[in-house]
């Protein structure tokens, strides 16, 4: 028999109190110029590679508008011009080869751009992780008493991975989507201003759907990040203290506690899956609906001689290309929002100054045998939780106490 899944949420009281100090901070905006400037510092050593990547994106976007134009020319010049002849066949073959060449060249540009940005993102994240480790090594012991190791592990792993996604497939490719939209709109307007205006009429509905999708996924991503940090903290505490768990026979209670936090993680992902599940079909439906309306309207134009079949076919191809970057931009928004949250937490750690530092002008110990004296010493790890209270004693050289 298969094990029966049980909802662990009813048994959460003590665990909720236990994990209260393990909660992840909910920080970040969709875009923060201050954080972005600090992030770009890590990209500055690789600005040449980023510039080359932008040029490749520009070239790839230009090649995306070549295919429909070749299709339009082939249909209007050879396919609807009368009976086929050897000259028309040769012309179609040349256009087909040109189309194939444009596709292959665009593929090469996309591969080169993706490779460069992935490599650059990994190099920048290597530098960032190195700075995080350097900072952690300089912080005083009390900082680690108040910040669970699982949370710090999340900073160096999960949060940095989110920033890597921003650099490798988010920040630069946003410009690629904008290039694509600009070139496609210009090409469509050149072919038919009326049909372009009809296609843009659907855009407000698409923008509204995108806004609803962004809000839903943003909340889900925050819950996911919180759950991941809590899982990391929980595992660090229990794995490092496994001998104590087994000594006091707490395995069953540990499983129950982990079931609760694991359910939160799964439940947060459910919301994100549902959002992605309805967003792409809705945008696809709206794009197909707008193209169907365009097809119906263009049919009357072709009958009246105001439009050619080649223009219609090219415009439909541009219409498909028009909605693709809009979907991508919505996804990039979520990447940007997650990256801003991760960046705020990372820079909060990098900006933390240790409470115990070396003196600016340290004094050397005098030569010879010295006495050790405590003169009314008070000490506490926390504010009023005194470990030493007004302690005074003196140890002479060679004396044992």
* Contact in structure between 231 and 286 (CB atoms under 8 Å): no
Q: What are phi and psi of 346, to 5 degrees?
A: -65, -45
Give, in degrees to the nearest 5, the angle at Cα 373 between 368 and 378.
145
Q: Which is more confident, 20 or 394? A: 394
**Would you say the C-alpha torsion 266, 270, 276, 277 has a positive or negative sign?**
positive
Res 111: pLDDT: 93
Q: pLDDT tens digits, residue range 165-190?
A: 888 777 777 888 888 888 888 888 88
- Within 10 angstroms of residue 164's Cβ, the number of other Cβ atoms is 22
Interval 242-252 mean pLDDT: 85
Confidence of residue 6 (pLDDT cuts 50, 70, 90): very low
Res 101: pLDDT: 93
Q: Please give the Cα distance from 393 to 118 (Å, whole number).
A: 62
Nearest Cα residue to 336 out of 170, 91, 189? 170
Q: Please give the Cα distance from 346 to 176 (Å, whole number).
A: 28
Q: With 0-12 CB in 10 A as exposed, 13-18 as middle and 19+ as buried, what is 65?
A: buried
Q: Please give the Cα distance from 290 to 34 (Å, whole number).
A: 40
Q: pLDDT tens digits, residue range 20-65?
A: 444 454 444 555 778 888 888 998 899 899 899 889 988 988 888 8
Question: Which pair of structure tokens corresponds to residue 323?
Answer: 């909605």
Interval 1-17 mean pLDDT: 45
* Contact in structure between 329 and 177 (CB atoms under 8 Å): yes
Confidence of residue 154 (pLDDT cuts 50, 70, 90): confident
Question: Which pair of structure tokens corresponds to residue 360?
Answer: 């600016």
Interval 335-343 mean pLDDT: 81
Q: Please give the Cα distance from 132 to 150 (Å, whole number).
A: 15
Nearest Cα residue to 203 out of 292, 282, 286, 284? 286
Highest-pLDDT range among 94-103, 198-207, 224-233, 283-292? 94-103
- E strands, 264-398, are 372-380, 386-395
Q: What's the mean per-residue pLDDT of the chain?
A: 81
* Contact in structure between 95 and 73 (CB atoms under 8 Å): yes
Q: What is the pTM of this model?
A: 0.70
Q: Please give the Cα distance from 288 to 311 (Å, whole number).
A: 18
- Lowest-pLDDT range, 81-95, 127-141, 192-206, 368-382? 81-95
Res 31: pLDDT: 58
Q: Please give the Cα distance from 217 to 275 (Å, whole number).
A: 7
Res 82: pLDDT: 60
In the block, tokens 């794009």 appear at 287
- Within 10 angstroms of residue 147's Cβ, the number of other Cβ atoms is 18
Res 322: pLDDT: 83
* Contact in structure between 96 and 67 (CB atoms under 8 Å): no
Confidence of residue 7 (pLDDT cuts 50, 70, 90): very low
Whether 352 shows a pLDDT value over 70: the answer reads: yes
Give, in degrees to the nearest 5, the angle at Cα 338 between 337 and 339.
90
Res 228: pLDDT: 78
Q: Give the DSSP letter string of 213-243.
A: HHHHHHHHHHHHHHHHHHHHHHHHHHHHTHH
Interval 264-292 mean pLDDT: 83
Res 81: pLDDT: 61
Q: pLDDT tens digits, residue range 185-202?
A: 888 888 888 888 888 888
Nearest Cα residue to 400 out of 368, 367, 372? 372
Whether 135 shows a pLDDT value over 80: the answer reads: yes
Q: Please give the Cα distance from 265 to 231 (Å, whole number).
A: 8
């Amino acid at each position: 028999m298969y094990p029966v899944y049980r909802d662990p949420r009813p048994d959460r009281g003590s665990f909720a109190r236990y994990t209260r100090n393990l909660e992840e901070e909910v920080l970040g905006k969709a875009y923060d110029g201050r954080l972005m400037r600090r992030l770009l510092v890590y990209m500055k050593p690789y600005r040449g590679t980023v510039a080359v990547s932008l040029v490749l994106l520009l070239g790839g976007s230009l090649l995306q508008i070549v295919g429909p134009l070749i299709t339009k020319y082939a249909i209007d010049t050879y396919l609807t011009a009368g009976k086929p002849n050897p000259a028309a066949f040769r012309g179609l073959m040349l256009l087909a080869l040109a189309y194939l060449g444009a596709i292959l060249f665009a593929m090469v540009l996309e591969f080169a751009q993706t490779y460069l940005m992935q490599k650059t993102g990994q190099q920048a994240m290597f530098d960032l992780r190195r700075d995080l480790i350097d900072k952690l090594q300089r912080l005083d012991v009390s900082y680690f008493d108040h910040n669970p190791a699982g949370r710090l592990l999340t900073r160096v792993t999960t949060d940095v991975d989110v920033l890597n996604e921003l650099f490798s497939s988010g920040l630069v490719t946003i410009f690629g989507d904008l290039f694509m939209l600009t070139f496609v709109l210009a090409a469509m307007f050149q072919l038919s201003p009326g049909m372009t205006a009809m296609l843009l009429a659907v855009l407000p509905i698409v923008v509204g759907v995108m806004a609803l999708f962004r809000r839903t996924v943003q909340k889900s991503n925050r819950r996911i990040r919180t759950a991941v940090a809590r899982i990391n903290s929980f595992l660090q505490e229990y794995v490092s203290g496994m001998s104590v768990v087994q000594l006091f026979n707490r395995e069953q209670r540990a499983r129950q506690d982990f079931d609760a936090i694991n359910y939160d993680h799964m439940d947060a992902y459910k919301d994100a899956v549902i959002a992605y599940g309805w967003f792409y079909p809705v945008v696809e439906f709206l794009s197909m609906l707008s193209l169907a309306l365009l097809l119906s309207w263009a049919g009357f134009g072709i009958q009246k001689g105001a439009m050619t079949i080649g223009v219609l076919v090219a415009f439909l191809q541009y219409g498909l290309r028009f909605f693709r970057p809009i979907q991508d931009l919505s996804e990039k928004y979520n990447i940007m929002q997650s990256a801003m949250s991760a960046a705020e937490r990372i820079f909060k750690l990098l900006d933390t100054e240790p409470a115990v530092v070396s003196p600016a002008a340290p004094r050397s110990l005098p030569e010879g045998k010295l006495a050790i004296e405590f003169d009314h010493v008070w000490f506490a790890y926390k504010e009023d939780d005194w470990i030493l209270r007004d302690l005074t004693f003196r140890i002479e050289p060679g004396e044992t106490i």
